[in-house]
């Protein structure tokens, strides 16, 4: 009887010993994984921070850029810069941006490159828009907070520029989503003058613009009607006549289609 109990207790001790060793091994493995995770994350953030500093040094003659933190999302390998302030040279106040996320920054052996970047929480005060300050206030805007996303690719061999997305959105204004494809274009900063002369030869293969209104059109119509001393309906009719005249003069299907879209939008 006693020998049977001792065997059972010995088995329980062996099982408990294996459990402790398994738990200890799991803890050590988790520690190694976490150390590797944070070590790799720190390494990537160090590289990202250096790239941010390199970019800031290149723009030092044009603007001042300040930021609080650089981090890297290991799932998507996206670099994030938080609490950014951009102040053009000569300006007293800067534009604050809550977060900038760099999804893609590709550079080829030639001049080919691509960028996908998002700016969230761009804060602009009406007083910072010196030339348009009064107009912005008359439209009823004081503090504007917007988001922006840009995604484009340039193929130097094909001389093709593709704007996959240009998205800008702000509360009580609206959302703009624009895409564009250009061919026969050369994006070379060293040949910017030649780019200006080659502009007539640039071909627009595709251009799509979508706008979702969030009270901007109504504000613009009220502003225009007040300025012209008319009711909103009278102002709309006047604008429609002007657009019909432009459509008649235009010899471009794209311009005609755009004008027709605007006409249908304001009604």
Read off the tokens for 134. 């009064």
- Report residue 240 as tokens: 């429609």
What's residue 192's pLDDT?
47
End-to-end C-alpha distance for the chain, whole angstroms? 97
What's the pLDDT score for residue 67?
Answer: 76
Scan for tokens 């760099």, then name that residue.
102
Contact present, 166 and 175 (Cβ < 8 Å): no
Could you give the CA distance from residue 146 to residue 129 in angstroms, rounded to a whole number?
A: 15
- What SS3 class is residue 128? helix
- Domain definitions of the chain by residue range: 62-266
Which alpha helices (H) appear in 85-215, and where do they start and end? 133-138, 192-198
| Pure H helices in the chain | 2-58, 133-138, 192-198, 216-228, 232-249, 253-266
pLDDT at 188: 64
Distance of alpha carbon 65 from the chain centroid:
17
Q: Which residues pair with 176 in a beta bridge?
A: 168, 211
231: DSSP letter = -
Half-sphere exposure of 101 (CA within 13 A, CB side): 13
Per-residue pLDDT of the chain (267 residues; tens, 9 = 90+): 444 545 555 555 555 555 455 444 444 344 333 444 344 444 455 655 666 666 556 556 666 778 787 776 655 557 788 888 888 777 777 889 898 888 877 777 777 888 888 889 999 888 888 778 899 999 999 999 999 998 989 888 888 889 999 999 999 999 999 998 988 887 765 554 455 555 556 677 788 889 999 999 999 999 999 999 999 999 999 999 988 888 888 877 877 888 888 888 887
User: What pLDDT is attached to residue 230?
Assistant: 93
pLDDT given at position 31: 39
Rounded CA-CA distance 179/161 in Å is: 11
Residue 253: both structure tokens together: 């299907």
Measured from the Cβ of residue 79, the count of other Cβ atoms closer than 10 Å reads 22
d(CA 219, CA 49): 42
* CA dist., res. 168 & res. 130, Å (int): 21
What does DSSP assign to residue 109? S
Encoding tokens for residue 170?
């702000």
- CA separation for the pair 262, 186 (Å, rounded): 32
Measured CA to CA in angstroms, residue 29 lies from 25, 33, 34, 74 at distances of: 6, 6, 9, 19
What does the pLDDT read at residue 131? 79
């Amino acid at each position: 009887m006693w020998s049977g109990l001792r065997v059972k207790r010995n088995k329980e001790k062996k099982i408990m010993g294996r459990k402790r060793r398994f738990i200890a091994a799991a803890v050590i493995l988790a520690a190694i994984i976490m150390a590797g995770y944070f070590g790799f994350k720190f390494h990537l953030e160090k590289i990202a921070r250096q790239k941010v500093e390199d970019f800031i040094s290149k723009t030092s003659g044009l603007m001042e850029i300040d930021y609080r933190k650089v981090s890297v999302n290991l799932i998507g390998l996206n670099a994030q810069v938080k609490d950014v302030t951009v102040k053009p040279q000569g300006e007293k106040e800067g534009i604050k941006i809550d977060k900038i996320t760099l999804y893609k920054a590709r550079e080829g052996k030639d001049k080919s490159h691509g960028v996908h970047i998002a700016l969230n929480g761009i804060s602009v005060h009406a007083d910072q828009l010196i030339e348009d300050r009064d107009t912005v206030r008359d439209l009823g805007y004081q503090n504007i907070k917007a988001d922006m996303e840009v995604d484009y690719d340039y193929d130097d061999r094909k001389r093709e520029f593709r704007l996959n997305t240009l998205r800008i959105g702000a509360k009580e204004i609206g959302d703009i989503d624009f895409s564009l494809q250009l061919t026969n274009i050369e994006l070379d900063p060293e040949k910017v003058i030649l780019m200006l002369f080659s502009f007539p030869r640039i071909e627009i293969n595709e251009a799509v613009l979508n706008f979702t209104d969030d009270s901007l059109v109504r504000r613009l119509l009220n502003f225009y009607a007040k300025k012209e001393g008319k009711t909103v309906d009278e102002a709309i009719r006047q604008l429609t006549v002007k657009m019909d005249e432009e459509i008649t003069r235009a010899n471009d299907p794209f311009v005609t289609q755009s004008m027709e879209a605007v006409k249908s939008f304001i009604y």
